[in-house]
Amino acid sequence: DQQVKQNSPSLSVQEGRISILNCDYTNSMFDYFLWYKKYPAEGPTFLISISSIKDKNEDGRFTVFLNKSAKHLSLHIVPSQPGDSAVYFCAASPPLISNFGNEKLTFGTGTRLTIIP
Amino acid sequence: ETGVTQTPRHLVMGMTNKKSLKCEQHLGHNAMYWYKQSAKKPLELMFVYSLEERVENNSVPSRFSPECPNSSHLFLHLHTLQPEDSALYLCASSQDGVQPQHFGDGTRLSIL
């Protein structure tokens, strides 16, 4: 059973418009959420994160929103640029309580974003 | 070099072969990870090493054998693999288990 779900395998957005990527999770123990971006033939690159004590985190064109009651997070990219075309992975981790074993990342299956020039 | 480097980038092997994947991180991190990404599936955590000691084995078959000789290097030794083991294998590192993890570009493994 997937604990982190990205229900849209693909999304196409016009350049300059807003891209909204969604992610749902089922495990209420998740405490920290991340978005990674992956280009073909490269490893995932960290993009932005949010702690469960916040409901919004912004970094330039990227904003992540967290709705804990709905167990839902979203990534907004505005304005979208051609270089944003990639696969975006949502990931979640439980609290880092003590020693290792608590920092496991659980990933979604990814959403392929295509920005149309 | 900076970041996390994985070699080889591509590997084709038969089911009876023995090979090793290598990962090296230049970030001064003390934790390293192996992930497997199969087609249309999420990244799956395989192993976690902290300060060169294995702290997590996520029910991985024994035909995968990790080795962490020091905090900068991580190996994944492969033997008698199955066709379903064909996947992208990603290495990552972090400091003290704190996110985010930094990933290498992966090894694309094909089992004939």
Output the six-digit token pair for B45.
Answer: 């955590």
Inter-chain CB proximity A100 and B97 less than 8 Å: yes
| Residue A53 DSSP class | T
Residue A95, pLDDT score: 79
Tell me the nearest-neighbour CA distance from B82 into chain A, angstroms: 23
Please, are residues B38 and A91 in contact by the beta-carbon 8 Å criterion? no
Chain A residue with minimal CA distance to B104?
A: A43
Q: How far is Cα A59 from Cα A64, in angstroms, rounded to an integer?
A: 9
Inter-chain CB proximity A100 and B48 less than 8 Å: yes
Please, are residues A104 and B45 in contact by the beta-carbon 8 Å criterion? yes
Kindly give, in sequence order, each residue whose CB lies less than 8 Å from that of residue B96, ignoring residues fewer than 6 positions away: B30, B31
Residue A100, pLDDT score: 52
Average pLDDT, chain A: 92
* Extended beta strands in B8-71, E state: 10-13, 18-25, 31-37, 44-50, 53-57, 64-70
Tell me the nearest-neighbour CA distance from B24 into chain A, angstroms: 14
Residue B43, pLDDT score: 92
Name which residue leads in pLDDT, A77 or B98. A77
Q: Which helix (H) or strand (E) holds A57?
A: strand A56-59
pLDDT in tens, B52-96: 787 777 789 999 999 999 999 999 999 999 999 999 999 999 987
Inter-chain CB proximity B43 and A101 less than 8 Å: no
Q: Residue B24: which of B60, B69, B63 has the closest Cα?
A: B69
Tell me the nearest-neighbour CA distance from A87 into chain B, angstroms: 12
pLDDT in tens, A39-92: 998 999 999 999 999 999 999 999 999 999 999 999 999 999 999 999 999 999
Inter-chain CB proximity A103 and B98 less than 8 Å: yes
Chain A residues with CB inside 8 Å of B103's CB? 36, 43-45
pLDDT in tens, B2-41: 699 999 999 999 888 899 999 999 999 989 999 999 988 8
Kindly give, in sequence order, each residue whose CB lies less than 8 Å from that of residue B101, ignoring residues fewer than 6 positions away: A46, A105, B33, B92, B93, B94
Chain B residues with CB inside 8 Å of A10's CB? none
